[in-house]
Amino acid sequence: MKTIYNAAHSLHRAAHEFFRGEKVPAFEKPERADWVLAAVQRTNLGEIIAPAPHGDGPILRVHSKPYVDFLRSAHAEYLALGGTGDAFPAAWPIRGMRSDVEPKNFAARMGLYSFDSGSPLTAGTWAATRAGADCALTAVDLLNAGERSVFVLTRPPGHHAGRDFFGGYCFLNHAAIAAQALRDSGCARVAVLDVDYHHGNGTQDIFYDRGDVFLASIHGDPMTEYPFFLGHADETGSGDGLGANLNIPLAAGSPVESWFAALDHALSRIEAFRPDALVVSLGVDTFEGDPISHFKLKTSDYPGIGERIAQLKLPTLFAMEGGYAVAEIGDNVAGVLQGFERA
């Protein structure tokens, strides 16, 4: 399996984040990708290649133009206004307020285009996530050229980023950009399987009313787990998308057996959808040692995920999402990919 590696990931380097309101050292740090890259090399997964530039067109198929324009220039604007370090939002348009009018004020626009304070916007955030989008699009090109599977190794992650908002460390939704690009290059139906500990609310936001992209997400129950305000089982899609959204929330602390039963259920629903290609939002914060999550998978469980996904026999794109137990995420990610390759 080829890996498309985003060498620009390290441009996104935050000193701190706000974790449930408390200022803490950033969990989402460059070492994450370094360890995964080392594991990909150590296990001889396959060639590691650089992304080819693809322009903004495919990004704008998924994200709104005002949002992309804001993201591109936000940090420079923050500095020009006298800001220092990383930028954080501090005010949001909550229920009953207007989100259809873009204010002029920078802090107001930070709030308009975000949903949490846990996602530092740094000087290099745009360059890093923009290169991540190119990685995802390069991976789509490889699938279209006949590769069976590809791995997009990038950070910051993407699955919390919606059509016009960032949050949960995510700015551009690389998995969604890839799914849309697969649709636009001839796949009639595409499935997204999100195995990250956290609900893929951004991906759900983007595809919720569409019947051509099926999303299955297995995640910590939003009643107690981030992102809290989306990811319940009764969210099944709307309009043309009714039935094309499957959320499987599991209680924090759920046993590994429940997680794999959920995976089997998600895979059977994906199979019934008869997609032409699969995008996997590959987070490994389901690991028992993850510092911000509460499932119990062990390193030895990860190859089984890849083996089961491979049974779908679909062109498959894996996109890196969360996972913060830095020393183990390399083995856990490589385990999934090797399991897929062996099956």
Q: What is d(CA 244, CA 209) in angstroms, rounded to the nearest whole number?
A: 8
Nearer to ligand 6XA, 160 or 210 (CB): 160
Q: Shortest approach of Zn ion to residue 290 CB, angstroms?
A: 8
**120 is written with which tokens?**
């530092």
166 binds, among ligand 6XA, Zn ion, none (CB under 5 to 8 A by kind): none
Partnered with residue 249 across adjacent β-strands are: 219
| CB-CB contact of 211 with 204 (8 Å) | no
Q: Which does 19 bind (CB under 5 to 8 A by kind): ligand 6XA, Zn ion, none?
A: ligand 6XA
Q: How far is the CB of 98 from ligand 6XA (least distance, A)?
A: 26
Q: Which of 248, 161, 250, 175 is nearest to 213 (CA)?
A: 175
Smallest gap from residue 125 Cβ to ligand 6XA (A): 15
**Residue 51, preceding bond cis, omega within 30 degrees?**
no
Residue 129 φ then ψ, to 5°? -75, -30
Q: Which is nearer to ligand 6XA, 283 or 303 (CB)?
A: 283
Tell me which of Zn ion, ligand 6XA, none is bound by residue 118, counting a contact when its beta carbon lies within the kind-specific cut-off of 5 to 8 angstroms.
ligand 6XA
Closer residue to Zn ion, CB minimum distance, 142 or 218 = 218
Which residue number, 111 or 315, has a Cβ lying nearer to ligand 6XA? 111
- Least spacing, CB of residue 198 vs Zn ion, in Å: 4
Site residues, ligand 6XA (CB under 6 A):
19, 118, 157, 160, 168-169, 196, 198, 226, 283, 285, 292, 321-322
CA-closest candidate to residue 197, choices 160, 149, 171: 160
Shorter beta-carbon distance to ligand 6XA: residue 187 or 196: 196
Taking CB positions, which residue lies at the least distance from ligand 6XA?
Answer: 322
Residue 292 binding result from Zn ion, ligand 6XA, none, given CB thresholds of 5 to 8 Å by partner type: ligand 6XA
3-class state of residue 8 by DSSP = helix
> Cα(first)–Cα(last) distance of the chain, in Å?
13
Shortest reach from residue 292's CB to Zn ion, in Å: 8
User: Measuring CA to CA, which residue among 137, 177, 143, 133 is closest to residue 316?
Assistant: 143
Q: How far is the CB of 168 from ligand 6XA (least distance, A)?
A: 4
Footprint on this chain of Zn ion (rule: CB under 5 A): 196-198, 283, 285, 322
- Annotation says 160 is catalytic: yes
Among candidate residues 63, 75, 160, 199, the one labeled active-site is 160
Q: Tell me whether residue 183 or residue 225 sits nearer to ligand 6XA (CB atom).
A: 225
**Cα gap 26→269, rounded to integer Å:** 36
Residue from 107, 87, 110, 111 nearest 97 by CA? 111
17 Ramachandran zone, left/alpha/beta (phi>0; psi -120 to 50): beta
Work out the number of other CB atoms within 10 angstroms of the CB of residue 149.
23
User: What residues are labeled active site?
Assistant: 160
